[in-house]
Amino acid sequence: MYLMEVDRVLRPGGYWILSGPPINWKTYYQTWKRSKADLQAEQSKIEELAESLCWEKKYEKGDIAIFRKKVNEKNCPRKSASVCESKGADDVWNKEMETCKTPLPKVTSANEVAGGGLKKFPERLYAVPPQIAKGLVEGVTAESFEEDNKLLRKHVLAYKRINKLIGTTRYRNIMDMNARLGGFAAALESPKSWVMNVVPTIAKNTLGVIYERGLVGIYHDWCEGFSTYPRTYDFIHAKGVFSLYQNKCNLEDILLEMDRILRPEGTVIFRDEVDVLNKVKKIAGGMRWDTKMMDHEDGPLVPEKILVVVKQYWVGGTGNSTSSDQ
């Protein structure tokens, strides 16, 4: 099941590296207190399963073995793992794992990369992702993808006018809470920052597009806690998040979770309808965040506004207490 899940998330032509047991068992079998036959059988089992998944062993030396997933199923051996009947290979949120191989997209030739080839990074960042080029993302075309990139570049330029620290080492860990197509992360164009692109589970499923662009991302439901430790992020971008969730769960709960994962003196930029942001601003003030509402970059007549907040250090006491009062 583990290797089948690795196969599901691994791109055609991608690599899986196994480091450690049972690789190099001839050297370590006594240290591991296991028999040669047992370890040899374990490695053979892994290699047989890898072959059935259409992986090819490319290299083994020392403690490392490298396998490569073949680029399409025309190059697979006849004997292969059972194929999943479900077509929802990307619909995995809160779903049981299946003991079956996720089928690859069909190809017309043995040299074609299943699902579409990718350009090398950084060209890959702005090239039309194969999922969009093939019409697999509902409501998104190559033209709308280009428009989204243009719009996010415009937004990021506006953010940089508001906050000169964006793109510097001050904001190393960044999150986009409603990443859509990954345009915000792409527009930053900063080797000094990395962005966690979050695709809300109630929004359009675009996580595949984000990875095809060479970015990193994750599914999440913002009505739940985010799986990370406190004070992870230096900067959070939240475009349309609260319009998306205002009838799903309490805005206070989302803001408190943002407060938990944002470091002191970290910044959040909200972009949403003015009525929604007024509610957010009121709650944020009660959380002792510094807030500033700003007009859309196209002027005050645009109903979408920008709210910039900075998380402050909390200082205990009222300032009038003494040690004897404690």
Q: Name the DSSP class of 83.
A: B
Confidence of residue 2 (pLDDT cuts 50, 70, 90): very high
Residue 137 CA, distance from chain mean position: 17
Angle, vertex CA 26, rays to CA 24 and CA 29, nearest 5? 95
pLDDT for residue 319: 46
pLDDT of residue 190: 87
- Per-residue confidence band for 49, with pLDDT thresholds at 50, 70 and 90: very high
Mean pLDDT of 151-175: 96
Angle between helices 2-9 and 36-52 (to 10 degrees): 40
Q: What is the mean pLDDT of residues 202-225?
A: 96
DSSP string, 219-233: EE-TTS--SS-TT-E
Residue 17 CB coordination number (10 Å): 10
* pTM for the predicted model, two decimal places: 0.90
Predicted confidence band of residue 306 (pLDDT cuts 50, 70, 90)? very high
Contact of 79 with 53, CB cutoff 8 Å? no
Domain made up of 123-311: CATH architecture: 3-Layer(aba) Sandwich (3.40)
Domain boundaries, the chain: 2-75, 123-311
26-30, 97-101, 197-201: segment of lowest average pLDDT? 97-101
